[in-house]
Amino acid sequence: MKTNWLLKENLDLGEATNIANRLNIEKTTVELAMSKNYRTPDEIYSFLNPELSNLHDPFLFSQMEIAVERIVRAVNAKEKVLIYGDYDVDGTTGTAFLYHILKKMGTVPDFYIPNRVSEGYGLTEAGVEYCLKSYANLIITVDCGMGAGERVKLLQKNGKDVIIIDHHEGTGEILPAVAVINSKIENYPFRELSACGIVFKLGQAIFERTKMDKEELWDYLDLVALATVCDVTPLIDENRIFVKEGLKVLSKTKNIGLQKLMEKTRLSGQKLSPYQLGFILGPRINAKGRLGDAKETVNLFTTQDGEEAAKIGQALENENNERQKIQKQIVQEAEQEIKDVSEVIIIAKEGWHPGVIGIAASKLADKFYRPTMLIALNGDIGRGSARSIPEFNIYEALSKCKELFSAFGGHKAAAGFTIKKENIPLLKDKIIERTNIKVLVKDLIPKIIIDKKLSIPLISEKLVDELEKIEPFGCGNSKPMFVSTGLQVIGYPRIVGNNHIKFKVRGDNKMGEVIGFGLKEMLMGTGEYIDLVYELKRENRGASSKIMLYAKDIDKNGKRS
């Protein structure tokens, strides 16, 4: 697919030179940090060297003190505590983490995870009924609760104190809970925490107040890193610290369930990155919540029994394999319905699994570069999942058609909704009528955002060393993307594997070695001049290593130079 190359605007290069000299780092590294809005020497140093000591004070949450006091009182009085979590990675890891914190305090809590298919999200009717029948006096929600004012009120009225830990946007209502801890609704220094990340902040506060050894708290950063990556929160500020340190903890995790899951996925002993968390571990952890009972996922993270952990790990693997089959079938069936790619893709079908249509929609949105909505029909009711492209706010679009839905929610990139079958034919027309999508998609093609134009002689071991300090890469902290123009292809480019190319280039009298995965159709001849967009990566081969240019796009005509 054709792409647009967008080069970020030039920065104050004089200031970048001064900071580079002061910190003894490459000017390119400073410019990359400045493009991410780190501007002073101190900010850039902290960005390149994230440390646990830089985490914010947890008591900056306005109701943290109230929450800690109530939890400590419950533990001391031997009250029963129930954790009410969500069924995705963020909810299950957050529930498990809080379970471990409370257990360290001296109590063994109960927990409840709603069934995605039969109950849906949040404080469900069945979930509230479970809470009311429970002996628990204190209920702590994790990754849900913000839109459940009436049900929180019902619980409080029946003698159940509720603490809400959530990271979803509030509706503006004042929730009748003992405490609400949510980085999105107050002046906490960092808004973009996952729910599990907020559980970590609660843990920090509890450990500080009860004088427990905070070194034991760091052991659970593996769970926080998983949630932070899999919930696609931006890897900046505290999230950056959580993931950087959490990857280290995960590589030698004490969590028996994670040990077994990593053995099953052959990740044990490997150097881990957000990729393995988001695309290998995450789908397996999510699989139970999509197809089965996510309580088993919490059991995986809390068990001390290796045999039980291995059994659950195998069940997750089986569920994930089944999820992949269902997803593949939904994508194929949806593609058969797409005759022409118009402004927005909306497809409804009886028999689709409502727990899988979201990731199927994501695949189609990526392939066709259009907002995509898939709707699983069950009689006269459809449950829909929407995935969008960066240029189009899908939640805002649904908000403009809200009279069509029985319920809806989400954010800019993804949303879910319930709709009557009779309203589905109106949905596409209303979106086109009430948004700018018709104008937006007319000439819309994917964009590659380029951080810096780079000459080949500036590529060095020191630069690559410093680029590795910008890791972990992910949402909000993308891999640096470079462009070099007017490069001459030298030697003999060749096809490697089934669909990849490998070749050498020369620019400003220095050579570079390039590999382009999936770029077979761009194979060029010796002596041609090209413009190249690429990432830099070190390839280790035994005791030796070399720097490779990982091609992302190639202009064989050199028109962009």
Residue 413 pLDDT: 84
Asked whether the domain spanning 451-555 has the same topology as the one spanning 55-315, the reply is: no
**The two three-digit tokens of residue 274, written as one number:** 């957000």
Collapsing DSSP to helix, strand or coil, 7 comes out as: strand
Task: Report in angstroms the alpha-carbon separations of 470 from 188, 244, 402, 459, 537.
Answer: 25, 10, 42, 16, 13
Give percent of the chain above pLDDT 70. 97
pLDDT digits (tens, 9 = 90+) for 433-476: 999 888 777 667 888 999 999 999 999 999 999 999 999 999 88
Gap between the Cα atoms of 347 and 344, Å rounded: 10
Gap between the Cα atoms of 510 and 502, Å rounded: 17
CATH 2.40.50.460 fits 451-555, yes or no: yes
Gap between the Cα atoms of 102 and 206, Å rounded: 10
Domain positions in the chain are 55-315, 338-440, 451-555
Query: Please, which pLDDT band fits residue 504 given cuts at 50, 70 and 90?
Result: very high
> Which residues, listed in sequence order, are joined to residue 6 by a DSSP beta bridge?
449
pLDDT digits (tens, 9 = 90+) for 212-238: 998 899 999 999 999 999 998 999 999
297 contact partners, CB below 8 Å, separation of at least 6 = 87, 92, 113, 285, 288, 289, 312, 316
pLDDT digits (tens, 9 = 90+) for 87-121: 999 999 999 999 999 999 999 999 999 988 888 88
What DSSP designation does 477 have?
Answer: B
> CATH: 3.30.70.270, 3.90.1640.30, 3.30.360.10, 1.10.3720.10. Which one for 55-315?
3.90.1640.30
Collapsing DSSP to helix, strand or coil, 199 comes out as: helix
Residue 497 pLDDT: 87
Task: Please report where in the chains the tokens 């908000």 appear, as a residue.
Answer: 399
Task: Please report where in the chains the tokens 């999200």 appear, as a residue.
Answer: 121
560, pLDDT greater than 80: no
Collapsing DSSP to helix, strand or coil, 106 comes out as: coil
Residue 542 pLDDT: 65
Please name which of 355, 74, 64, 77 lies closest in space to residue 181, comparing C-alpha atoms: 64
Query: Please, which pLDDT band fits residue 128 given cuts at 50, 70 and 90?
Result: very high
559, pLDDT greater than 60: no
Work out the widest C-alpha separation in the chain, in whole angstroms. 79
Gap between the Cα atoms of 154 and 160, Å rounded: 9
Phi, psi (degrees; rounded to nearest 5) at 242: -55, -45
Gap between the Cα atoms of 187 and 168, Å rounded: 15
Phi, psi (degrees; rounded to nearest 5) at 316: -65, -40
Task: Report in angstroms the alpha-carbon separations of 220 from 79, 129, 199, 209, 544.
Answer: 25, 31, 11, 19, 35
**The two three-digit tokens of residue 467, written as one number:** 């680029």
**The two three-digit tokens of residue 399, written as one number:** 């908000």
Please name which of 477, 481, 535 lies closest in space to residue 242, comparing C-alpha atoms: 477
Residue 13 pLDDT: 67
**The two three-digit tokens of residue 81, written as one number:** 């505590």
Gap between the Cα atoms of 164 and 159, Å rounded: 16
Average pLDDT of the segment spanning 519-529: 91
Sheet with strand 414-420: strands edge to edge: 345-350, 372-378, 381-387, 414-420, 405-410
> Which residues, listed in sequence order, are joined to residue 533 by a DSSP beta bridge?
483, 553
The structure's pTM equals: 0.90
Collapsing DSSP to helix, strand or coil, 457 comes out as: helix
Residues 481, 38 contacting (CB under 8 angstroms): no
Residue 438 pLDDT: 81
Residue 508 pLDDT: 92
What's the chain's average pLDDT? 92
Residue 561 pLDDT: 45
**Residues 338-440, CATH architecture:** Roll (3.10)
Reported as half-sphere exposure (CB side, CA atoms, 13 A), residue 501 has a value of 19
Please name which of 550, 507, 452, 380 lies closest in space to residue 28, comparing C-alpha atoms: 452
pLDDT digits (tens, 9 = 90+) for 277-329: 999 999 999 988 888 789 999 999 999 999 999 999 999 999 999 999 999 99
